[in-house]
Structure 1
Amino acid sequence: MDRMKGNLMLLLTALIWGSAFVAQSVGMDYVGPFTFNAARNLLATGVLVPVVLAFGGRHRGSLWQKLKPDRVTVKGGLCCGLIMGIASNLQQVGLSMTTAGKAGFITALYIILVPILGRFLGRTVRKILLLCVPLALVGFYLLCVKGGFTVSFGDFLVFCCAVFFALHILFVDHFLRKGASGVRVAWIQFAMTCLVSALGALVWERVPAGGLSSALWGARWPLLYTSVLSSGVAYTLQIIGQKYTEPTTATLIMSLESVFAVLSGWLFLGEVMTSREIAGCVLVFAAVLLAQR
């Protein structure tokens, strides 16, 4: 029952992340990637306060005493937030230099990187997953890559992003095993990601011509969607769901994000799926189902 609950949480995570792709793209029309990520995670930190109060365990006293995390949770949140901040910003910057399809395929490489990095950490990998991972990889290639495949600097940045996303999954699993509070780890990691993004904005971005407040107001709907659902809800579901699911299986389930992005475009934007894309979706779904054996 716990395993099924965890899998459903991770499946919902992938659905939210996939449907949020449009909102993230629209947000880039108003502000730079670092500014967007900083604002998004600042809002997510505030959104998660009532979640921590509701699901973070029973703590009496002042508001801070109810929110106050233990030492392991603080360490986990800071580490996961630093990794997530680097990963999300590498992805956003890389997207400005490469195509969305190639970026989606390269990011999906984290489904291979998680078991590889896990082996270096002494984790065992179930034999069925040795079939699921390459099957999903072929599916992502059919789904995301159009035309020739050459490597640009943007592609390199997105590959680095995939490495950090794989590390994020393993670090979340590590700190949950040590007894960290899932919702508090999520809360702290959003604050840390906001800090990393804000530093990036100060170094590499300029204030928009019409002013920062005006630009952020223009991006208010994408920011609200990504902060409440994609960050506040989905990343929390990921952390809680991983309590009941091994890292490689969790990775395969969450990698359905790209499939849900394509399906969302087909359902809501009228985008037509080719037979190649349909075949890719089928292969990825098959890999995820096989991983549940």
Structure 2
Amino acid sequence: MSKQQQMKSSLLLLITACIWGSAFVAQREGMNYVGPFTFNAVRFALGALSLVPLIMWLDRRSRKSTQEIKASVKSSAGSGFMAGLILFCGASLQQIGLIYTTAGKAAFVTGLYIVIVPFLGLFLKQRINANSAIGAIIAVYGLYLLCVKNDLTLGTGDLYELAGAFFWSAHILLIDKLSRQTDVIKLSFFQVVTCSVLSFIVAFATETIDFTGLSQALIPLLYGGICSVGIAYTLQVVGQKGAHPTQAAIIMSMETVFAVVGGYFVLGELLDTRGVIGCLFMLVGMIIPQLPPIRRNIIVQE
């Protein structure tokens, strides 16, 4: 692969990280006008709609028969429903947490999935190496500096984001398995639809869906739906075709940095010195597991 192609892939992944990081700002801004479940319901519905043209174009390009397309849709629907259930839990906890914490802190705490995933993988008989263990220790210390108060308690929003990080980790492991068995884009579409439908159900039961509020939150909704769910996902797929997985993971982890920058310039959110140091520790902890192994696997689940 040429250096030009690698540069193009890296740029696409960096744009993806920028969109996802900025989406935290849009998600928090949207909370000023609508409830968290209403916001997610509409956001994921818009994201699903934005994927429809892509799916149709890819099916035409593949020149599959009608029967093959139907079979692909059927297999993707079941997998998408399972993934959508976990996505709904993670997205809901994240959105609720954003009511109580800043966009930057939410992004960093959510980003802990990078060090949680290897440990959850132990239950699937996967290995964990020294990089992951060291990264986890550093990231947890960073989390302590960023979120834990003087009375040794976590803020309400941080607790929601931390709980959500475990669901995002489970989601990553499930997608890793399901994506090998079905069409990735269709899988994404059905999980997004599932998340949107479940969010609508909870929103109708617990929130007041106000069209005035929706109109006021239109820009955050459009950005969070079309850009974050639709465009960024597509860029990720295209970008990862020309990038090494380690390189891709490191670049996309930059979404946390973009969230902090966006939170500062758009929402005026500030971190104190302790918080900045905590973010740096967490960023290092997230990157270390993606680097070449320090030594061979140190923990193996038989």
TM-score category of the 2 structures, normalised to the smaller one: 0.7 to 0.9
CA distance in 2, matches of 1:164, 1:188: 18
Determine the structure 2 residue equivalent to 1:260. Answer: 258
CA distance in 1, matches of 2:56, 2:70: 7
Describe the SS at the equivalent of 2:125. Answer: coil
Contact 1:78 1:188 in 2 (8 A): yes
CA distance in 1, matches of 2:278, 2:54: 36
Determine the structure 1 residue equivalent to 2:167. Answer: 164
Contact 1:172 1:239 in 2 (8 A): no
- Shift of the 250–170 alpha-carbon distance from structure 1 to 2, 3 Å rule, reads farther
TM-score (norm 2): 0.76
Q: What is the Cα deviation at residue 256 of structure 1?
A: 3.5
CA distance in 2, matches of 1:199, 1:229: 24
CA distance in 1, matches of 2:155, 2:279: 26
CA distance in 2, matches of 1:124, 1:257: 26
- Structure 2 counterpart of 1:114, which letter? V
Answering whether residue 56 of structure 2 is matched by residue 58 of structure 1, we say: no
Answering whether residue 291 of structure 2 is matched by residue 292 of structure 1, we say: yes
Moved more, 14-23 or 163-172: 14-23
Q: Per-residue CA shift, 1:76-126, capped at 9, x if unaligned?
A: 221112211121112222333x33366555434433321111110111233
Determine the structure 2 residue equivalent to 1:38. Answer: 41
Q: What is the Cα deviation at residue 14 of structure 1?
A: 3.0
- Where in structure 2 are there 5+ consecutive unaligned residues? 293-302
Q: What is the Cα deviation at residue 281 of structure 1?
A: 4.7
Contact 1:10 1:254 in 2 (8 A): yes
CA distance in 2, matches of 1:231, 1:139: 28
How many pairs were matched up? 285
Alignment of 1:100-111 (within 5 A): 100=102, 103-104=106-107, 106-111=109-114
Contact 1:182 1:240 in 2 (8 A): no
Q: What is the Cα deviation at residue 176 of structure 1?
A: 1.6
- Shift of the 141–52 alpha-carbon distance from structure 1 to 2, 3 Å rule, reads farther
Q: Per-residue CA shift, 1:186-212, capped at 9, x if unaligned?
A: 11111111101101101111233xxx2
Determine the structure 2 residue equivalent to 1:99. Answer: 101
- Structure 1 counterpart of 2:63, which letter? H
Determine the structure 2 residue equivalent to 1:195. Answer: 197
- Structure 2 counterpart of 1:263, which letter? V
- Shift of the 204–241 alpha-carbon distance from structure 1 to 2, 3 Å rule, reads farther
TM-score (norm 1): 0.78
Moved more, 81-90 or 102-111: 102-111
TM-align CA RMSD: 3.7
Describe the SS at the equivalent of 2:139. Answer: helix
CA distance in 1, matches of 2:70, 2:235: 18
Q: What is the Cα deviation at residue 152 of structure 1?
A: 6.2
Alignment of 1:48-87 (within 5 A): 48-55=51-58, 58-59=62-63, 69-87=72-90
Describe the SS at the equivalent of 2:77. Answer: helix
- Shift of the 252–205 alpha-carbon distance from structure 1 to 2, 3 Å rule, reads farther
Alignment of 1:107-122 (within 5 A): 107-122=110-125
CA distance in 1, matches of 2:126, 2:257: 28
- Structure 2 counterpart of 1:121, which letter? L
Q: Per-residue CA shift, 1:152-203, capped at 9, x if unaligned?
A: 665544333222111111111011233x222111111111111011011011
- Shift of the 22–287 alpha-carbon distance from structure 1 to 2, 3 Å rule, reads same
CA distance in 2, matches of 1:238, 1:20: 15
CA distance in 1, matches of 2:155, 2:274: 24
Q: 1:132 aligns with which of 135, 146, 154?
A: 135
Determine the structure 1 residue equivalent to 2:230. Answer: 232
- Structure 2 counterpart of 1:158, which letter? E
Q: Per-residue CA shift, 1:126-154, capped at 9, x if unaligned?
A: 33222233333434544555655424665
- Identity rate, percent: 39
- Shift of the 85–6 alpha-carbon distance from structure 1 to 2, 3 Å rule, reads farther
Moved more, 20-29 or 162-171: 20-29
- Structure 2 counterpart of 1:259, which letter? V
